[in-house]
Every structure is written in structure tokens, then in C-alpha cells.
């Protein structure tokens, strides 16, 4: 799985909370965090469509977007990438760093823990 950029992750987080959303609705949710223009939001959505990390459809005559990437899988990939590339950790990570997150519920936290523990075997990387 390709790791989304930080701005793409911000867009995905807005969609995971509520979808489908129009580009304007997405922009309204991410503007404060990213501090960019509406055209930047549109450009990011176009890039994400090309990468197939979002899907586009029409609802009541308005183009809307939905996340094509699963939340737990994406967060596990981010955590694994951070642990390996940034922290140089070669052992499985614990999902305890996500405890207290408003982004995941208890079931998702359990799924995340399992993904992180099983990552090397499932992704074909050496254990």
C-alpha cells in the first residue's frame, strides 16, 4: 500500500468521519488544519482520484467523494512506516499509541493491533 501524504491523510480522515462529501465540504473540514485554498483541495482530490485513494460519484447533481482506502489498513501502514523509517524499529509495533484517539473505536483499535503484530508475515517482509 502506498502511504498517503499528510495532506491526503487529512482529507481521508474527513471522509472516514462522514462520507460522501463534496469538494467544498471536504475543504471546509480541512481548511483550518491545512491552511490552503479551495483550489488546493480540488488539486489534492484529483491526485487522490488518480491514485485511487478516493472514489468520485454524483449525488443530487453534485460530485461527491468517498474514501477508497480503509481506515485501519491505512493507519497501520502509517504506523509501520513511521516505526521502520523514522524510529528504525524492526519489531512489531503496539497499537497502544492509538489509545485515546478520537479517530478509532475499540474494535478498530483491536484490528489495528492485530495488523501491526502480523505486519511482517502478511506483507512479505522478513520477521
- Any alpha helices (H) in 1-127, and if so which ranges? 6-17, 23-34, 38-51, 71-81, 106-122
CB count in 10 Å sphere of residue 121: 11
The pLDDT tens digits for 26-69 are 999 999 999 999 999 999 999 999 999 999 999 999 999 999 99
Residues in CB range of 99: below 8 A, 6 or more apart: 109
The pLDDT tens digits for 85-127 are 888 888 777 778 788 888 898 899 989 888 888 875 444 444 3
Amino acid at each position: 500500500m502506498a502511504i498517503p501524504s499528510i495532506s491526503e491523510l487529512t482529507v481521508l480522515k474527513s471522509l472516514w468521519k462522514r462520507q460522501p462529501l463534496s469538494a467544498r465540504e471536504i475543504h471546509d473540514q480541512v481548511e483550518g488544519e491545512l491552511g490552503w485554498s479551495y483550489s488546493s483541495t480540488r488539486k489534492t482530490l484529483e491526485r487522490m482520484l488518480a491514485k485511487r485513494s478516493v472514489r468520485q460519484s454524483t449525488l443530487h447533481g453534485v460530485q461527491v467523494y468517498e474514501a477508497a482506502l480503509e481506515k485501519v489498513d491505512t493507519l497501520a501502514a502509517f504506523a509501520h512506516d513511521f516505526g521502520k523509517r523514522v524510529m528504525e524499529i524492526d519489531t512489531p509495533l503496539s497499537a497502544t499509541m492509538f489509545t485515546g484517539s478520537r479517530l478509532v473505536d475499540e474494535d478498530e483499535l483491536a484490528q489495528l493491533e492485530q495488523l501491526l503484530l502480523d505486519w511482517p508475515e502478511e506483507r512479505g517482509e522478513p520477521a
